[in-house]
Structure 1
Amino acid sequence: MKLSKLSIVVPCYNEESNIEELFNELKKVIESLTCVCEVIFVDDGSKDNTYKEIEKKSHKYDYVHGVSLSRNFGHQIALLAGLEKASGDVIITLDGDLQHPPQVIPELIEKYNKGFDIVNTRRIDDESTSFLKKKTSTLFYILINKLSDIKVEPFGADFRLMSRETVDAFLSIKEQDRFTRGLVSWIGYNQGVVEYKASPRFSGKSSYTVKKMFQLAINGITSMSSKPLRISLYLGLMFFITGLIYAVFIIYNYFAGINVEGWTSILITILILGGIQLLISSIIGEYVSRIFNETKSRPLYLVKKQTSKKIT
């Protein structure tokens, strides 16, 4: 498969201090390639001067294009916006904090040249990665692969190469709540993997807080599977059967004249059943909220402005 044009999509949020270094690394890679290249920076409603830095690069280099979203729509939507703007026959996405090393791009292209339609990456954490982050990441992939109907690459990232055909297939999916890694796995095609060593952030602080990672996990599980609802059904049946057995036990003791003091057991039973009911209601609520979001049919993002140079 001959590569004639490469699009590099970089979603950014408050990456003002990283743009210069990231672009310098990308520029080295681009200059080593023989194909036409374009770099699309998507500013996801940054509160700093990220877009101004992007504009500077756009004015200096014809192959740089900047898109500024009207507010912070989230990393997954910023990725989507960049993919919709990309015109290459091969598209590579990577984050703007230099934790996705541009030096790996030639390896992704080499894998593509061997016949892979999608080349995912698998992160190898360095010593600076915290124990908590490693364990929570491991737990996330265990959960999503157990609960999901498709396999998500463990320790994967939104650092990948996709052919034009697979990007078009991905863009044909019109879901509101998007989990990119799951959707990329869902569309199928011939997928390969390249490992890379994650680097510390070049500058700034990660916007992926524990809360956001938890939300991503919930979104990933609920968007790719209905198994949590099935588990809720099984839990309900289990406690219903347990309750019937306990009721038979109480009735038997009553007629047998056995007086059983049960304040503690009653209290524990009420607490457990109440907790289970709240848990099941919350799971159902997550799916109902997803249905609600889909029925609104709002645009996934709005573009506030973009650089004047159009890439063809």
Structure 2
Amino acid sequence: MEHQQNRTGAGDDLELSVVVPVYNEEPNVRELSERILAVGREMAVPFEVILVDDGSTDGTPDLLRSICREQPECRAVLFRRNFGQSAAMTAGFHHTRGRVVVSMDGDLQNDPADIPELVSGLQEGYDIVCGWRKDRQDRLLTRRIPSQWANRLIGRLTGVRLHDYGCSLKAYEGDLVRDLVVYGELHRFIPVLLHLRGANMKEVVVRHHARTRGESKYNLSRMPTVVLDLMLMLFFQRFQTRPLQFFGRGGGLMLGIGVLIELYLTVLKFGFGQDIGDRPLLQLGALLIISGFVVLGIGLVSEIVMRAYYETSGRTIYSIREVVE
């Protein structure tokens, strides 16, 4: 197998790249690759399948090597250890060469037969087409109900309303995701991240199959992580390029309240001769003033870091869809 460390850019005249992160999916990965290859060949477009192994401890890596030797359309990216689905998705995106990129899970619950419909949605002018597992084949209490509530909450708070944030089956314009970096567990928030760049999207109903082989890697223990990631997304939406406004409001409020408290105590001391040395309000005012300066300082440092990032990395705070001349 070819060991590739650098990102691969577009330019090989590929129409479609299918990215599949896998982790301990030895029972499923061969059948999955065969079904994806069948769909790609039926579409009759130049395509590739990128299988990203996230540090599997079973026979998945050896099986991927075998598949790539047998099928010229397949490439594998093998991690040294388990880094998580977001890292695997990012690595897959960075190695794509197709004009269109489709992502999906490696457990055979997503159906490759839905890929043509997702791709046709992009041809309608959308930047992202998201799958919606309307008839989801998972446990009701531990998977479907928590997911429904999470989807509603995320949609309400971010303004990006989707029925199914957790569905990995999505199609993207390749240029949108080729330089995308997804940290932690943010892969489920990719539509929000791309919405920040001005991407438009639609949702289509896709098939969903019950898992018949292997073990699921998802459970309710991930819910706290989802909540923390949601808070990060809200910060990105409102203050990614202006962090001083976020920290400045809180710091300024604490500083202002602290100053007012100390002024009030100063009037009591020198205007009315009252003893203020043993009043808890004195310590509270001092604490608020110090905290206000600290938070404002964090805001200033964040602003400097943000500006240095954009100026030195060559990235911009905007995203251009088209230049007309």
Task: Tell me the TM-score normalised to structure 2 length.
Answer: 0.63
2:55 corresponds to which of 29, 41, 45: 45
| Unmatched runs of 5 consecutive residues or more in structure 1 | 146-150, 298-312
2:215 corresponds to which of 204, 208, 213: 204
2:272 corresponds to which of 240, 243, 256: 256
- 1:70-219 matches, within 5 Å, as 70-122=80-132, 124=134, 126=136, 127-128=140-141, 129=143, 131-144=145-158, 155-156=164-165, 157-162=167-172, 166-168=173-175, 170-171=177-178, 173=179, 180-188=190-198, 191-196=201-206, 203-206=214-217, 209-210=222-223, 213=226, 216-217=229-230
Q: Does 1:8 align with 2:18?
A: yes
- In 2: Cα distance, 1:269 partner to 1:99 partner: 58
- In 2: Cα distance, 1:139 partner to 1:276 partner: 31
Residue 118 of structure 2 contacts residue 204 of structure 2 at CA under 8 Å; is this kept in 1? yes
| Unmatched runs of 5 consecutive residues or more in structure 2 | 1-12, 314-325
- In 1: Cα distance, 2:87 partner to 2:40 partner: 26
- In 1: Cα distance, 2:206 partner to 2:297 partner: 41
More deviation, 125-134/277-286: 277-286
Q: CA deviation at 1:18?
A: 3.6
2:245 corresponds to which of 227, 230, 253: 230
| Count of matched residue positions in the alignment of Structure 1 and Structure 2 | 286
1:235–1:74 distance in 2 versus 1, CA, 3 Å: same
Q: CA deviation at 1:108?
A: 0.6
Q: CA deviation at 1:197?
A: 6.6
Give the aligned residue type for 1:238. L
- In 1: Cα distance, 2:208 partner to 2:294 partner: 39
- In 1: Cα distance, 2:150 partner to 2:169 partner: 20
Query: Looking at both structures, which has the greater relative contact order when contacts are Cα pairs under 8 Å and sequence separation is at least 6?
Result: 1
Q: Deviations over 1:140-187 (max 9, x none)?
A: 455555xxxxx686743553223xxx423543x476969644453344
1:26–1:177 distance in 2 versus 1, CA, 3 Å: closer
- In 1: Cα distance, 2:250 partner to 2:109 partner: 41
Q: Counterpart of 2:260? A: 245
- In 2: Cα distance, 1:276 partner to 1:143 partner: 27
Give the aligned residue type for 1:43. D
- In 2: Cα distance, 1:161 partner to 1:43 partner: 20
- In 1: Cα distance, 2:295 partner to 2:113 partner: 45
SS in 2 for 1:35: coil
1:279–1:239 distance in 2 versus 1, CA, 3 Å: closer
1:238–1:216 distance in 2 versus 1, CA, 3 Å: closer
Give the aligned residue type for 1:256. F
Residue 39 of structure 1 contacts residue 63 of structure 1 at CA under 8 Å; is this kept in 2? yes
Q: CA deviation at 1:235?
A: 0.9
Residue 108 of structure 2 contacts residue 209 of structure 2 at CA under 8 Å; is this kept in 1? yes
